[in-house]
Amino acid sequence: MTFRPYLLLMHPEDILALTPAGLCCKLGSFHIDPTRAVERALITHAHSDHARAGHRAVLATRETLDLMRLRYGENFAGSTQAIRYGESVKLDGVTATFHPAGHILGSAQIAVEAEGLRIVASGDYKNVADPTCAPFELVPCDVFITEATFALPVFRHGDPSAEIAKLLYSVSVFPDRAHLVGAYSLGKAQRLIALLRQAGYDSPIYLHGAMEKITRYYESRGVVLGELRLARGATKPTLAGTITICPPSALNDLWTRRFPEPLNAFASGWMRVRARARQQGVALPLVISDHADWDGLTATIAATGAGEIWVTHGQEDALVHWCGTRGLKARPLDIVGYGDEDDGGEADE
């Protein structure tokens, strides 16, 4: 082990500590993804469990700020400051730098540095290509804070294009039926559309009204999604043989009555668990996730070079145990309130 003199000066917990409002940097007077209203919040991404309304000041990427504004209204924070990937700000002697997390549009990892010690709070992340957001950037650090949504060896997401091929095959086999694909409104829905376009599907794709604003925002940021129509305006016969993207909750809703012989699909990392798909009445489970799978999590942790790992929302125990077997110091961070919007939780809006 190499001698790191800063260890004498500062412990990671002196830079970031867990408080009732979430991760707090006392030295820099800010919180990261706080779960309660605070003076100064640095936000990794716009999913509602990480990005809440009511903070005095918010620092985040432009996309995260715009998405928060779309969802919460103009006055979601007292003041806002946009930061670009690769850009740093000094906050009372602490430096914070934002790096792409590859999770959804605008998602960032936040590197916090003081006295030569670097802690990376990665928020939610995935290390696979996604046509709707900037790719995950590996940031070497001393302490890496990782999510653990799919941190069990059974979770291996595989190639999303193979899942898209399953969907397109089903559409070709059942040309009289409407395919409804449940997908979380922010991130997953737009990625699904982009993946369908990548696969060469160029028919109009129908949207549930709940996804319209966010999807249009993605387009305004240069994400190409092809022809989109609202399912609301379509007649039943025209929906035969089409694909409609909707929030997962809409799959078991009266809303589906407007579709001819609807066939339910659901795009989520949880669809790896067949019993879960069956339970939810999903005929066509699609394993597509915006979170790193077991291999992605462990490979990323190893690649950061961090000697210490803090594990949040999900299967903390398995990942903490894995770190131990690799000689890494690890501990769970029990942050209450994470994982209730995207794949991290069951719910959606």
| Binding stretches for Zn ion (CB under 5 A) | 47, 124, 342, 344
* Minimum gap (Å) between residue 67 Cβ and Zn ion: 11
Up-side HSE of residue 239: CA atoms within 13 Å toward CB?
Answer: 24
Instruction: Name the residue nearer to Zn ion (CB basis): 123 or 285.
Output: 123
The position carrying tokens 């670009």 is 84
Phi/psi at 195 (nearest 5 deg)?
-70, -40
Instruction: Name the residue nearer to Zn ion (CB basis): 113 or 343.
Output: 343
Instruction: Name the residue nearer to Zn ion (CB basis): 21 or 27.
Output: 21
- CA 42, 44, 46: angle at the middle one, nearest 5? 110
- Say if residues 122 and 101 touch (Cβ distance below 8 Å): yes
Residue 318 CA to chain centroid, in angstroms?
Answer: 21
* Minimum gap (Å) between residue 101 Cβ and Zn ion: 9
Look up residue 101 and give its two tokens.
């997390």
* Minimum gap (Å) between residue 149 Cβ and Zn ion: 7
Instruction: Name the residue nearer to Zn ion (CB basis): 113 or 290.
Output: 290
Pairing assessment for the beta strands 30-32 and 22-25 based on DSSP bridges: antiparallel
Instruction: Name the residue nearer to Zn ion (CB basis): 255 or 270.
Output: 270
* Minimum gap (Å) between residue 108 Cβ and Zn ion: 11
* Minimum gap (Å) between residue 207 Cβ and Zn ion: 21
* Minimum gap (Å) between residue 294 Cβ and Zn ion: 17
- Say if residues 304 and 138 touch (Cβ distance below 8 Å): yes
Residue 5 CA to chain centroid, in angstroms?
Answer: 36
Instruction: Name the residue nearer to Zn ion (CB basis): 124 or 316.
Output: 124
User: What pairs with residue 81 in β-bridges?
Assistant: 59
Phi/psi at 265 (nearest 5 deg)?
-120, 160
